[in-house]
Amino acid sequence: MGVVVTDAEVTLADVLSLRLSITEPLTDGSRLILRRRGTGEERQVTLGASAGRARDAGVAVCLAPLDLSPGRWDAYLEQNGVRTRIQSVDPGFSLDRIDAYALGRRTLAYRAYRTRNGFLALKIDPAEPVADVRAVWFREGRFEVTGLLAYTGLQDDDQHRRATLALRHTASGRGNAGHGDPDAGDPGTGQPGATVRVAATVQGVRFHAALSLCDVLAATPDSHGSWEPYLEVDGVDRALPLGARLDDVEGKRRRVHYPLTLVDGVPIRPSFTPADELLLEVGA
């Protein structure tokens, strides 16, 4: 049986909503099957019959009760004992939808997408509060960054919130030993890391911050190492790492390369950790 998804979305209520184009109507006992890559673990959902001889059908499946673990799950339709992998013509990426979905406080984030081979799949990730980076640049000796507060539960309104951008110095910048705490010790030495702070602007869930690179250099005598940026926002119970996880680009340390700038002869370049969190690398 041929089956193609023409529209796929995970709603704000974590319901997988599909519009199917099918060669045969759905019958009683048809099942949607989600199969986890790597383990073969499966979840099965029984679907109702489609009306008459309709060649398209709508499917809505609540994902939370299925107890899906983080990872990638491929989608199949089983009817009359025949299992067919579901094809998709919907790329499954809308930045507006992603931004709206990220406004809620969640523990897991679900996303429907089309694989490179043209099939429907689900991507599931842990959803911790994060300051999602949208733009980074150097201007007039300053490091500037803008983005969106994700998974914090804050409203996307016009309210201004007091906020601080904090940069914590580490010897290597490769680990996340101080994750969520800008004042944690340097993972390379175990000693308290130097921290530079500056006021940031937060309106609703949008943020902007600018920090003097001269202040960064002055905070460490040897002007070498990496700086991990965090955002501290009134109304949020933890410091938010600056990361880039909402888009569909993974492995940003390999894929995204920013130009460096020289400050007093010292090279400074933004980069990403293996966990797609932002770094400032100084003297590299």
What pLDDT is recorded for position 188?
46
Q: Tell me the pLDDT of the chain (284 aa) as tens digits.
A: 578 999 999 999 999 999 988 888 888 888 999 999 999 999 999 987 776 556 788 899 999 999 999 999 999 999 888 899 999 998 877 778 889 999 999 999 999 999 999 999 999 999 999 999 999 999 888 999 999 999 999 999 999 999 999 999 986 544 454 455 555 555 444 445 789 999 999 999 999 999 999 999 988 877 788 999 999 999 999 999 999 888 877 778 888 888 888 988 889 999 999 888 999 999 86
Q: What are the residues whose beta carbons fall under 8 Å from the beta carbon of 190, sequence distance 6 or more? A: none
Residue with tokens 């193609």: 4
What pLDDT is recorded for position 182?
59
Which of 185, 209, 180, 212 minimizes the C-alpha distance to 196? 212
What pLDDT is recorded for position 95?
79
Question: Rg (Cα) of the chain, in Å, rounded?
Answer: 23
What pLDDT is recorded for position 221?
74
**Domains of the chain: which residue ranges?**
3-126, 130-282
Q: Is 3-126 CATH 1.10.10?
A: no
First to last CA, the chain: 56
Residue 145 near residue 151 (C-beta atoms within 8 A): no
